[in-house]
Amino acid sequence: MTQSRSILPKWFQFLIIAILVLGIFFRFVNLDHKVYWYDEAYTSIRISGYSLTEIQKQAFNGKEIGVKDLQKYKQPNSEKGLVDTLKGLADDVHTPLYFIMGRFWMQLFGNSVAVIRSLSVFISLLAFPCIYWLCLELFNSSATGWIAIALIAISPFHLIYAQEARPYSLWIVTILFSSASLLKALRGKNKLNWSIYAASVALGIYSHIFFLLVVISHGIYVAVTEGIRESKTFTSYRLASYAGFITFFPWLLVITLNLRRFLGQSAWTSHGKLTSFSLINKWIENFTVVFMNTDINGNIIYFGFSELLTDILKIILIIMLLTLGGYSFYFLYRNTEPKTYLFIFLLIGIPFLILGLPDLLFGGVRSTIGRFVTPSWLGIQLAISYLFADKISSMSVKKRDKLWYIVVISLVLIGVISCGIISQSETWSGKGMNYKDKQLAHTIKQAETPLIISDAVRPNSIGKIISFSYLLDSKVRLQILPVPYIEQINFDNFSKVFLYNKPSRKLREKLNKKYQIKSIFLDKYLELWELERKE
């Protein structure tokens, strides 16, 4: 759509290739190093084909079990087939494509943490050619495409989800592929191009339900640029979109039949009302994390010295990134055709408005979950890529323009440092409820013959316990209660007994009558207690 005036300097092309290689390295290094958190545990459960009800009846029934007894709920097995995986997904809010791919992947390559995460890594590599293609369609600029590749290669946001056994890397690829195929179809206007777009819509919706936000932005874009009159182009778009939606009808029927469960599982996003200041602060934090994230505790940056100085530097860096983002929008608007900037602005704005306005007006945290507004982050990266490409590839003799080299290299350096820290860490702030699991598992494994007891009355209990089991030795035994009741713990068989997760108040009251409960670790997500018999 917009002509590039020149190409990138030769040395900068080599730098981008080096950045790409480094980004690929970061994606593959230490794949099994981080805690396999409870969201990922649900991925394994869905792939196995067992429903949560079956796991409760078979394993979480108050009987003592070993870590190996949970193995069949973490991998494909002969007892459950693909149909069972699909049945299990009917209880989930996620669409099935990633989980079906995961099942075949594990059947081919094994069931280790590194294997299941490697699927997301390989999928994430497809984002590189897809964003390059999208930049060619949007800007007719290979320079913009290469810079966009560099930015996502060393983006902390992209790295985190590339190494996670969840469908977000697949969603990113389908967003980019579908967007590029739409622009190609609008330009080429033949049946093959529209068929490719229809297929991309189907793949996108089956990759993540929030792909519908992208479909809405595409629809508005076509309506504005082509008009809603009965033109050949608009008719072709409408037919392609319908074809993509028709393929989703079987799963839409599943969602409809399980609507109450679906709404119940996603209800947490509408709970709580943040102040406008807190909401905006979270939006800014999520935007910043796309480019910079060096703090394991989720505070964006950490330098290891004075908190005051760290906060000052944090504010300065955030202001610089916000200024860069804002200027890239202005530059895009002033230097590209309406068809170009409108596409990016809609990709950024529609998902953010649909999720953010309800949070502002009625309460909730939908728009504060960074991964939910992934299309917006991709749009921002596209805008910044265009700005950088224009400033560097069209470098004039004016001395002030040379500052853009410093800006680009500084942003890349921040990304490399962030990715380097993330790749070496055993956990990260996004791991939420399993943040301290490795530390707690180490404590438990110090015991000669440990027993872990817990109850499964909380909605996330099964996922948390399955996740925790990845860190435990075979000597560890578990006793998971479906209700807060326990007859007797046989201390004679165990050197130590631990109470894990966040046990219900009723269970703790019951245990307090017979045992002394000593706290080992407590936070808002997780608790670990040690039980001792009262004399």
pLDDT per position in the chain (535 positions), as tens? Answer: 554 455 788 888 999 999 999 999 999 999 998 899 989 999 999 999 998 889 988 988 888 899 999 999 999 988 899 998 988 887 777 899 999 999 999 999 999 999 999 999 999 999 999 999 999 999 999 999 999 999 999 999 999 999 999 999 999 999 999 999 999 999 987 899 999 999 999 999 999 999 999 999 999 999 999 887 777 888 999 999 999 999 999 998 888 888 787 777 777 778 777 888 889 989 998 999 999 986 655 555 555 555 677 778 888 889 999 999 999 999 999 999 999 999 999 999 999 999 999 998 888 889 999 999 999 999 999 999 999 999 988 654 454 467 888 999 999 999 999 999 999 888 776 776 777 888 899 999 999 999 999 886 666 788 889 999 999 999 999 988 765 556 566 777 899 999 998 887 778 887 888 888 899 998 877 889 998 887 6
Q: What is the pTM of this model?
A: 0.93
Q: Within 10 Å of residue 57's Cβ, how many Cβ atoms?
A: 11
Residue 280 lies in a domain: yes
Question: In degrees, to the nearest 5, what angle opens at C-alpha 328 toward C-alphas 326 and 331?
Answer: 115
Q: Are strands 515-522 and 477-481 parallel, antiparallel or unpaired?
A: unpaired
Same domain, 443 and 525: yes
Q: Rounded CA gap, 20 and 275, in Å? A: 40
Q: What is the pLDDT of residue 385?
A: 97
Same domain, 415 and 508: no
Q: In the sheet where 515-522 sits, what is the strand order?
A: 64-66, 477-481, 450-455, 496-501, 527-533, 515-522
Same domain, 441 and 410: no
Residue 25 lies in a domain: no
Same domain, 358 and 452: no
Domain end, chosen from 425, 446, 461, is at 425
Residue 274 lies in a domain: yes
Q: What is the pLDDT of residue 492?
A: 78
Strand partners of residue 530: 498, 518
Helix (H, G, I), strand (E, B) or coil at 66: strand
Sign (positive or negative) of CA dihedral 27, 211, 386, 196 = positive
- How many domains are there within the chain? 2
Residue 15 lies in a domain: no
The parent domain of residue 521 ranges over: 436-533
Q: What is the pLDDT of residue 103?
A: 96
Same domain, 350 and 382: yes
Residue 101 lies in a domain: yes
Same domain, 292 and 151: yes
Q: What is the pLDDT of residue 512?
A: 82
Same domain, 218 and 89: yes
Q: What is the pLDDT of residue 229?
A: 73
Cβ pair 360, 279 in contact under 8 A: yes
Residue 88 lies in a domain: yes
> 522-531: string of b/e by CB count within 10 Å (b at 16+)?
eeebbbbbbb
Quick one: tokens of 396? 């004039």
Same domain, 397 and 491: no
Domain end, chosen from 374, 396, 425, is at 425
Residue 12 lies in a domain: no
Q: Return the residue matching tokens 């309406």.
A: 338
Same domain, 325 and 459: no
Same domain, 271 and 134: yes
> Exposed, middle or buried: residue 119 (CB in 10 Å: 0-12, 13-18, 19+)?
buried
Same domain, 307 and 207: yes
Residue 430 lies in a domain: no
Domain end, chosen from 372, 395, 425, is at 425
Same domain, 314 and 453: no
Largest CA distance in the chain: 85
